[in-house]
Every structure is written in structure tokens, then in C-alpha cells.
Amino acid sequence: MKIDILNLKEGVTEYFESLGPSELDLLNLDFRLKDKAFVHTTVEKRGNKVKITIDAKFTLILTCSRCLEEFEQDFNTVDEYFVKPGQEELEPEKYLSDEDIFSIFAPAQEIDTTPLVRDSIILSVPMKPLCKEDCKGLCPVCGVNLNKSICEHVGFDKEKDEWRRKLEEIKKKLEKK
């Protein structure tokens, strides 16, 4: 959604919108947006200061990093931005306040909030998604989903097995001599 910063009325203006995966450019990623993201944007103008608060509610379809099954997770992100007119100034020595860090500069008269919503969604995706805290994952030997069934390899230790095999080999070689 584009907000006309220049012609904004003084005080608080609210916007409600729902954005789908294609509008948010969230296609072909390793997660999916389920249905649409519901976005409540509050724009507060006080003199030449503009604060934008974006409250987004959405459900993502993620792939569990352990069992590789897809699962859904609900999210609610709230992000604040301070809009400053003009270009970003490069002042490395300048002390940065919270307001500076979260400032977006508006070289044009309008600000597009859609990329901001997109960023919030992408940043909320966990590094290692888990379908549940104690997901048992897949059997390293036969690949069965251990949340759903068990196999004869439960308790199987790959390293130990490797050791046992090596010992057997050595034993056999010694016996041959």
C-alpha cells in the first residue's frame, strides 16, 4: 500500500488490507504464506514527523527441519518506522537513537508499505523450523518419520555400529593369521 506522505492529514490515519503471496512477492520460497496476511497500518503525523506502525497477522506453511513434514504456524508482527523526509544522510559519527535505526527515508512523496510487510514476514521465519518442540525427526537409517511410527533402528547408534564393524574386521583378520 502506498501512503502519500505529503498530503497526509494531521493525526492518526488507519488502513486495513489483506495481501496475498503474489502481491507480497512471496512465491517460490522455502515457506508459503497461507491465504492472506492481514495488515493493520497506523500512520501518525505530528508536524513533520510521521510514524508508521504495521501490525501483520499471518499463517505460514513451514517445513520442519527434522522430519521434513509441512506444518502451519501463526504469527503476529508489529513494526514501527519513523519516516524522515529527504535522503539518508551519511553521518557515521552521529549517535544513533532508536528513532534513527528504524527510520525510513522518503525521497519521494509516498511510501510503499508492502515491501515492509514482506520483510517482516521473511524475518519471522525461524532458522530451523520445528513442527513441535520434541519432534523426533527421521530415522537416519531407513528414513521413517519417527513421530508417526517406529522402526527396528530406534536406539541405533551409527557411530557405535561403525566401531563394532571395524572390530569385527580386525578380529577376522587376526583369526586368519
Tell me which residues touch Zn ion (CB under 5 A). 64, 66-67, 131, 135, 139, 141-142, 151, 153
CB of 37 to Zn ion, least distance (A): 24
CB of 152 to Zn ion, least distance (A): 6
Q: 67 or 111: whose CB is closer to Zn ion?
A: 67
Q: 142 or 167: whose CB is closer to Zn ion?
A: 142
Locate the DSSP E strands across 20-69.
32-46, 49-63
Q: Is 136 left (phi over 0), alpha (psi -120 to 50) or beta?
A: alpha
Distance separating alpha carbons of residues 140 and 100, to the nearest angstrom:
49
Q: 156 or 163: whose CB is closer to Zn ion?
A: 156
Cα angle 43, 24, 119; round to 5: 65
CB of 143 to Zn ion, least distance (A): 7
